[in-house]
Amino acid sequence: MSTASAERLIGGAALSEVEPLWYQIELWPLFVDGLQSVVSVEGERPLPGSVVIWRTGQAGRGTVEETVAEYVPGEGQLLVVEDSAISGRQRVTFEQIDRGTLVGLELDYRLNRGGPLRALTDLLFIRRAQAESLRRTLAAFAALVEERS
């Protein structure tokens, strides 16, 4: 498994206002990097067992399925993530600190294809691209929170 991660401090924002925005699926196109449209939602988000299927643009990962494995209010959520390129788990965490709320994203993933050079390709290109995507998501989310505060 490979890991990509990112953190973002959302200054001046309380955890109680930040976390609920993350789980509002209708807002996802505004901040989830590469998300073009939400296809379907099954179950009650953000509760375990709920499933969201979404699509990326042409240059993206295609159709992505996210299933909630764990949810702890005020702390975060663990998702099982599957698409044509990767399988893995993604965790979002929220932590109230003096200056605001620290939001973290961590993606533990395995490439679904790639042949004998898969590990090298991941090390040189994919892991960095995944981390950059997480950073873009958090930057856009921070901007959304600040706009709504």
**How many residues are there in the chain?**
149
Q: Which tens digits make up the pLDDT trace of 3-59?
A: 999 999 999 999 999 999 999 999 999 999 999 999 999 999 999 999 999 999 877
The pTM score is 0.92
Q: Which tens digits make up the pLDDT trace of 87-116?
A: 999 999 999 999 899 999 999 999 887 777
Query: End-to-end CA distance of the chain, in Å?
Result: 38
Residue 87's pLDDT is 95
According to DSSP, the residues that pair with 89 across neighbouring strands are 80, 108
Query: Domain 2-148 is of which CATH architecture?
Result: 2-Layer Sandwich (3.30)
Two tokens, residue 77 = 């959520």
How far is it, in rounded angstroms, from Cα 148 to Cα 106? 25
Which amino acid does the sequence have at 42?
Answer: E
47: CB partners within 8 A, 6+ apart: 68, 71
Q: What integer is the mean pLDDT of 63-88?
A: 96
DSSP letter at 123?
A: I
